[in-house]
Structure 1
Amino acid sequence: MPRLDRELVKHKLPIKEGYLLVKQARRRMSMQTELKVKEEVERLVIAGFIKPAIYADWLSNIVPVLKRKTGAIMLCVDYKNLNEASPKDEYPMLMADILVDGATHNQMLSFMDGNAGYNQIMVAEKDIHKTAFMCPGHISAF
């Protein structure tokens, strides 16, 4: 999947003063779920979306979400500690319907892929270590 150039746009993760680095306690999951998680992690590594982390300052857990129709697992990361440590945006994004209505008389309207949009904007190089997450068992951290 193509990504937006880091020189054009990058996601920064500032931390408020006084917050310490957080390594969440490891969560347990069933062996069946663990195998599905391992398959999904391997798929994401091959696709180039994630890479192994050796020494991580911040470390979050994954929360596997089962897709009922397909039985596949979607990996979500529990960034609650990182969210608490990040300053809140004073200017929240407008609601999508207002943005679409505002573009009514334009010749072209373009949307970013909403399905995998989080993979299109890269995290700033200096903040990548804050997004590390651990996988169950012996899989590792990424």
Structure 2
Amino acid sequence: MPGLDRGLVEHKLPIKEGYLPVKQARRRMSMETELEVKEEVERLVKAGFIKPTIYVDWLSNIVPVLKRKTRAVRICVDYRNLNEASPKDEYPMPMANMLEDGAAHN
């Protein structure tokens, strides 16, 4: 976001030792799907949710997902390689029902 200190809002992912960056090969898709994906990416760029970058260490594919009812394209990103290289959280998030039970006694 413009005007905010990068040290305050910038996130960095820790990577396990011994893992090298992975650049996935381009995923093939039909021309119609590719055009819909480009339109969705342009919409997200204009909205300020994503921004283009030129030099990346990790490169993950866009995975188009068609919504059943509207047939609109939703884009997802394949982060399997990055997830494998990230250390697991020592303190996972508690289950929602455990939080509700704990709050009910207050």
Q: Report the Cα distance in structure 1 between the residues aligned to 2:55 and 2:88, rounded to whole angstroms.
A: 28
Q: 1:101 to 1:36 in 2, by over 3 A?
A: farther
User: For the residues of structure 2 that align with 1:96 and 1:22, how far apart are their CA atoms?
Assistant: 34
Alpha-carbon distance in structure 2 between the residues aligned to 1:40 and 1:88: 32
Task: State the percentage of identical aligned residues.
Answer: 81
Give 1:10 shift. Answer: 5.9
- The alpha-carbon distance between structure 1 residues 89 and 27, as it changes in their structure 2 partners (threshold 3 A), is same
* 1:86-132 Cα distance to aligned partner (Å, 9 max, x none): 000111111223223434477xxxxxxxxxxxxxxxxxxxxxxxxxx
- Tell me the equivalent position of 1:138: none
RMSD: 2.1
Q: What letter matches 2:20 in structure 1?
A: L
Rg (Cα) greater in structure: 2
- 1:102 aligned partner: 102
TM-score, reference length from structure 2: 0.83
TM-superposed CA distance for 1:72, in Å, is 1.1
Aligned to 1:21: 21
Moved more, 94-103 or 52-61: 94-103
- Return 5+ residue gaps in structure 1 as ranges: 107-142
Question: C-alpha displacement at 1:71, in angstroms?
Answer: 1.2
Shift of residue 22, structure 1, vs aligned partner: 0.6
How many angstroms apart in 2 are the aligned matches of 1:10 and 1:103? 32
TM-score (norm 1): 0.64
**Matched residue pairs, number?**
101
Cα offset, 1:49, TM superposition:
0.7
Separation in 2, partners of 1:11, 1:69: 35
Point out where structure 2 has 5 or more consecutive residues left out of the alignment.
none
Aligned to 2:61, what secondary structure does the other structure show? strand
Aligned twin of 2:80: 80
Which residue is 1:32 aligned to? 32
